[in-house]
Each structure stands twice: as C-alpha cells, then as structure tokens.
Amino acid sequence: MSNSVPTSPLLDMPLLPPFDRLRPEDVEPAIAELIDRCCRKLQEGLNKPGWESTLAPLEEVQDQLNRAFSPVSHLNSVLSGPWRAPYEAALARVTAYWTELGQNRDLYAIYQQLADSPAFSSWPQQRKKAVELGLRDFVLGGVGLEGRARETFAANSQRLAELSSRFANNVLDATNAWTWHTEDESELSGLPQTALAAARAAAQSRGLEGWVITLEGPSYLAVMTHADNRDLRERVHKAYVSRASDTGPNGGEFDNSAVMEEILRLRSEQARLLGMANYAELSLASKMAPDTDKVLEFLGDLAARAKPAAERDFAELQAFAAEKLGLAELQPWDIAWASEKLKRARYAVSQEELRPYFPYRKVLAGLFAVVEKLFGVTVEEDEQVPCWHRDVQFFWLQRNGERIAGFYLDPFARENKRGGAWMDSVCVRRQTTNGLQLPVAYLVCNFSAPTADKPSLLTHYEVTTLFHEFGHGLHHMLTKVDVAAVSGINGVAWDAVELPSQFLENWCWQPEVIAMISGHFETGEPLPQTLLERMLAAKNFQSAMFTVRQLEFALFDFKLHCLEQGASAADIQQLLDKVRAQVAVVPVADENRFQHSFSHIFAGGYAAGYYSYKWAEVLSADAFSLFEEKGIFDAATGERFLHAILEQGGSRDALDLFTEFRGREPRIDALLRHSGIEQQELNTTPG
C-alpha cells in the first residue's frame, strides 16, 4: 500500500473545480507551488524575449494560479468559516507575486520592446491591446520607482489586500452577530408569509421557538418594508446601518474605523508615489472618464437634475405619512414602510403582491429563453457537476449544440455567505497549448430560500438583480477573445463594465418578457393584466429618490478619494454629511455609519469608481433605446450587440465598441426618459 500523500486538485485544476475534493488544508502549499512555477516560467521567458516565448508561456502558468485561487476566494465568500484563514494566507502570497511582477523591469522591457517593434502594428488586435494594457499596468504597478519608494509601494499593496479582506470580514461578522428573537407573532404584524416562514426557519436552525430576524438582506428588507411594529423597524434599522462601526448594538466589536483610515492613507500614498495628486486620479488611469473634473461635473449635473424631483417625491411621502399613517415626522426607519404604503395607495401594487407570480425557477427559465432569443445561445443544467452547497446549480451555455461556456448559480441567502449579488470568474476563455479553454463564471445572489411549503418567490426587484448578474455573466462567457488579459471583462474599463448588466435589466420591464418569466407558483396563471399595468405604471415610483441615493454614494466615494492625505474616521463622517447636505433628501439616523459597511469601495473594485454605475447607465439606456426603435427581440440588433460589445471583451476601447454598436457616441436622454426625470440637456455625458 502506498503511503504517498494525495496530490491537491488545486495543483492540476480541471476546467471545473472539484468542489467535492477541495480541502482548506491544501490551499497554502498548492498556492506556494503554483507561484514557484510562475516564477520559474518567468525566468525562462526573460532569457528569450517574445510573445510566444515569454508572454504566452507566462499566461499559461498564471492561468493555472488564477484557476486555483479562484475557488478558494469564492468559498471564502459563500461559506466563509474554515476557508477564511487559508484564503487570507493565499491572498498574501498571491498579492506579493502580482506586486513583484508589476515591478519587474526586465519583463517591462520585453513588453516595451514588443510594442516598439516594426511588426507590432500588424499584430492581431487582441495581442496588441494586451501589450498596451500591460505597459499601462506596469506604470501603475510602480515599475518606474526606485529604492525606498519601490519597497514602500510593494509593502502598501500587500497591506491593502489584507485590509480589504479584513473590512469584508468585519461586515460579515457584524451581520451575523446580531439577531432578534420573539415568540410573540403579533410583534411581526405586517410581515408577509414568505418573511414569517423564513424567520421561523431561522429560529428553528438556532434551536429556538418562534421567529428570528437577522440582518441578512431578505430578512432586513422585509422588516423595513412591511413591519407595522415601528419599534422593531427602528431596532433593526439601527442595527443594520451601524454594522462594523463604533456605535449600535455591537459598537466597537467589529469596528472598521481604523481599517478605513489605513486604507485611505495607503491609497493616497500609492498615488503620490506614482506622481499623482490623489487616488481618484490613479483610479481613472484605467477608466473611460478622462479626469476627476469630468466625473464630478457628470455627477453634479445629474444631481442637479434629479434632486428637485427627489424633493417632490419626499414631500409627497411626508404628506401621505402625516395624513394617512399618523406619522407627523418621518424617521429613517419609516421611509421604506411608508413608501410601500403610498405605492399601494397610488398604484394598488406591491412587491409582495407580485412575489407569488415570480417563482425563482420560472424566472430562471424565462431569463434563459430571453437570452436565447437575443443571442442565439441555449442553457442546459448539468447535475453531475460537484458544487459547494445543495442549493447551487451548474449550467452549460451552448450554441448550435456545442458547449461554449459554463456557470454556477448560487441563488439563496444563508448564514456565513457574503451579502449582495455578484459575478466572478472561475476561468477565462483563452487559447491553450491543448486547445481552447472555455470561460466559466460564478453567479451569486441572496434571494429568500424555499421553505417547507413554498418555493423561492422573488420580488420584481430581485428579478432585475438576477438579470443584472446574468448580464455580467454573458460579458464573461460570450467573449470571442482568446488572450486572457483582454478576454471577457478583463481589460474592460471599469466604468463600462456595468453596461451589459444594466442593459439586460431593461427586458424585465417588457410585457412580452414578463409573460415569459412569470406564472403563479400554485396555479401557473400569468400575471393578471391589471396587475401588470399597475406594476409598469409604478416603474418610476420614487426613482428620483433612488437616483440621488446612488449619487450620494458615488459623490462620497469620489470626493473621499480626491483627498490628498487620506482621512480620519471623523473626517470621513464629515465628508459624508456634506455630500448628504448636497444631494440627499431623506433623514439619516444618528447611528448611521453607512461608510463602515461600504464594501464596494473598501473591499471591492469600486474605489473612486462607484460613479461607474451611473456612467454605464447612460451607455446601457442608450444601447437599449436602439431595441426600443427596432423591437426588443430584433435579431439583427441582438446580433449587433453580441458582436460589438459582448464578444469583444477588453480587446478594444469601450467607447469605440459602444460607438460601433450605436452608430454614434452615447447620449443622456434615454437614461433621463427611463428614469422618469424631466429631461434637460446635461453638460457632460460619457465619452
């Protein structure tokens, strides 16, 4: 009998990670070995410069590293627990490797040599763009720094990765730490049956009688929108908005104050080391927007258009609450509840009334049918693929019966799973020595899970979330690019990366599509025409209030990263207060520490980039307006979007691709029309 230790599957990763065989203890040695392989391959390539002799072999081994690290990072997000420590150890090693690579002058010289060669102009576009973006990233990675500055930049990069992970951990731990338990159902008056069933299941999983409210998305939103118990709304709201901060019920326990301060200080220092005024300037070096003034002007102009409408929305809500709900003064924990009451009074429709007509499985099948009509691809489940949780499904994307991509779908909220919704890469499409590697994606949401007597039922808002994430997935999976650096969403300007996702959301509002994605979970009957009409009429209900909320986040993020020296926790709060005074229309609780859980900018890729949602929304609304002209399932227009946007990845500049699709540069009017905001000429639009 052999005593040899079994080889970790991470070292020889197949296309689909063997989730049934991955073990936390395998992570560190496997990642260390894969990084060693990368370093050895790099040294070989430096001795014989060229695309085929240096860059292609390096791409091959780095892809192996990425495909091993991807499931580790993913499991940390969706299961946490035993994967946190190995993930953080691996993250430190991987960050150090990429930082060192970004400062390797010998490799930089090879990129420069290739770009300067007479033959470069006749290279395939994908390879040219990969070299051009590589040269840019070397500069942004500190390749030109000397001595102490070089060491500091590398150390800062390492530390920033650690701090981002800590920020996310604190938010998750703070979310999990707070619950509220009751055995008196009357305290939950107003909550819909779906929410009550979930609260009972949460209690049972903890060995308790009655009901448990948590800070996971579905539970929190149900209370804020429907609970008639004002004290409960206040309690839950204050716990939620104070997560990971110095205040609230767990104040100081998972406090992100010092983490934010250090992140901002290090980001400012990184920008200064590269000769830039602030981190916002550094962030824009890889985006569509030309400079910080353009972004601030764009956001400021949009705020000026939206705020008067938002103030009218809020004044109407206050008047309704005073007259009909007996609330002389609206508090932050009253807004969603009162808004739902006003929406029902005005349109006789609510998200809960819609929920029975949007069973998750029906929505999913309808989404797949929409994508087939638009882009000629079909989706087929493969139940033989090992997954990390019983709720997860795996699907193949096919064209003409041939597999072209795959994706995992993890739809439901659960403890120890990061909140929100996102798409991430399992592996990218690329040409390998053994043939074509297909792109594979993770799609993650946090919908209410099925209960003993009901399937998962979605609000229409959650339907749009599913379409949004699938739009990201299509961008990753439908690429025709074979070079990893510009395949799928790789190399795409961050302020254009939301274009396909926001674009696909538009179909959720088309009557023809609603018929495809809806059907009562018990009877299968379609959404009644009267309910459909009321839902569509309510589409832009309080849309201006939603717009200024997004602008509040975007302006806060961008102005924060325009500071030259970072900021203290008190400074951060003061800046947020100033931005709110500029654009917000709703009251804020004294305990509100939104910034302490703003993972998009402190633990995600949106630092000095949250404006991207609005920037890309201009693009997506304008792109969809062509379908409004030609027909929402016009085959030629769908094919045009597929070829111009989805297949091209990052191989060409985003503005050029948009212009190729639309026949002109983007305009703001479609966004204003779709949002129900009175159109006035904006001074600036993306481009």
Res 244: pLDDT? 98
In a domain, residue 204? The reply is yes
Q: State the chain's maximal CA–CA distance in angstroms.
A: 82
**261 and 236 share one domain:** no
Res 686: pLDDT? 63
Backbone angles phi and psi of 441, in degrees to 5: -125, 155
Q: How many other β-carbons are positioned within 10 Å of the β-carbon of residue 144?
A: 15
**598 and 573 share one domain:** yes
In a domain, residue 393? The reply is no
CA 296 to chain centre: 22
In a domain, residue 577? The reply is yes
Rg (CA), the chain: 25
Active site residue 469: yes
In a domain, residue 155? The reply is no
For every residue of 280-336, DSSP letters joined together read: HHHHHTTSSS--HHHHHHHHHHHHHHHHHHHHHHHHHHHHHHHHHS--SS--GGGHH
In a domain, residue 232? The reply is yes
Res 681: pLDDT? 40
Q: What is the mean pLDDT of each run of 10 residues along the chain (687 residues)?
A: 63 96 96 98 96 97 98 96 96 97 98 97 97 98 97 98 98 97 98 95 96 97 98 98 97 98 98 98 96 97 94 98 97 98 96 95 98 98 98 98 98 94 98 95 96 93 98 98 98 96 98 97 95 95 96 98 96 98 97 98 97 96 98 98 98 97 94 76 51
Amino acid (one-letter) located at 66: N
**286 and 234 share one domain:** no
**211 and 273 share one domain:** no
**265 and 237 share one domain:** no
CATH of the domain at 333: 1.10.1370.10
In a domain, residue 52? The reply is no
In a domain, residue 500? The reply is no
**213 and 263 share one domain:** no
In a domain, residue 565? The reply is yes
Res 680: pLDDT? 45
Cα separation, 334 vs 311, whole angstroms: 17
Res 152: pLDDT? 98
**275 and 234 share one domain:** no
Res 1: pLDDT? 40
Burial label for 470, CB within 10 Å (0-12, 13-18, 19+), is: buried
Q: Which one is catalytic: 59, 281, 469, 552?
A: 469
For every residue of 330-354, DSSP letters joined together read: --GGGHHHHHHHHHHHHHS--HHHH
Amino acid (one-letter) located at 468: H
pTM: 0.95
**273 and 334 share one domain:** yes
**269 and 231 share one domain:** no
Res 452: pLDDT? 86
**277 and 215 share one domain:** no
Q: Which residues contact 597 (CB under 8 A, 6 or more apart)?
A: 171, 174, 243, 244, 245, 256
Range of the domain at 293: 257-349+543-610
**204 and 281 share one domain:** no
- Of 610, 626, 655, the residue that ends a domain is 610
**556 and 606 share one domain:** yes
Q: Based on the structure, what is the number of domains in the chain?
A: 2
Cβ atoms of 194 and 448 closer than 8 Å = yes
Residue 14, SS3 per DSSP: coil
